[in-house]
Copies of this chain bind each other. A is one copy, B any other.
Amino acid sequence: MYTVYGSAKTRASRVIWMLEELEVPYVIEDVFPGTPEALTASETGKIPALKDGDQMIFDSAAILMHLADKHGGLTFPVGTPERTRLQSVLNFVTDDMEQPLWTAAKHSFVLPEELRALEAVMPALHFEWTKALKTLGRLLGDGPFLMGAKFTVADIIAGHLGGWAKAMDFPAPEPLVADYIARVRARDGWQKVDAMRKAA
C-alpha cells in the first residue's frame, strides 16, 4: 500500500492520477509543504511525497518515474530510444511548461510578500508559456500523446499543467494542443482525481 503525502488540490494530484492509471491501492495523508510533517515525509520538505515500503520519495516527476518502472506502465524500458526521449520530453514539461506557472504561483502566494513582483514578471511568464505550448505542439506531432500511441508519465504532468494554466488565466493553447490537453484530462484517472478535488 502506498501513502501519498499532499492533497488532490496540489501537485500531489499527479501522483494520485498515476496510481489510478496503474490501478494500485493507496491512501492519502494531507500535509502542507515546509511543515515538520512535510520534512518527515520528504527530504526537501516539498510536497508531494510518496511512501513505498521503507522509502520516502520526493518530487512528483521522480515519483511518477519510480512507479512507472516498478509497475511497468506509462514508460519504456531503460536502454530503449523511447525511454530516452520520454525523459527529455518529461524534463521539457517540468522545466519549460511548469516554471512559468509555478513562478506565477510563487509571486502570488508562496514567496514572502516583500519579495513578490507579479505584475513585473507576468509579461515574461505569458511569453514563456506561449513559447512552451508551441514547442509542446511540435513534440506532440500527430499524437495522440507526447510519445505517440502510448500514454505516459509526461502526459500526466502536461495534462495537469494544462488545467492549472487555465485556472490561472494563462494564454490558451492552439486548437491541436487544446484538444490534446482535453483528451488526457478526459481519462478516468484524472476524472477520479478531479472529483476528489471538487469534494475537498
Contacts and interface: CB of A to CB of B under 8 A. Distances in A.
B120 A121 contact: yes
A59 B79 contact: no
Interface residues of A, number: 46
A138 interface: yes
Interface string A61-95: 11101100110000000110100110110111011
Specify how many copies of this chain sit in the oligomer: 2
A46 B42 CA distance: 32
A69 B58 contact: no
A191 interface: no
Nearest to A64: B87
Contacts of A124: 106-107, 111, 115-117
B117 A121 contact: yes
A87 B111 contact: no
Nearest to A136: B44
A4 to B, nearest CB: 15
A175 interface: no
Given A43-B138, A45-B135, A124-B111, A87 B116 contact: no
5 contacts: A45-B135, A57-B88, A66-B87, A116-B124, A121-B121
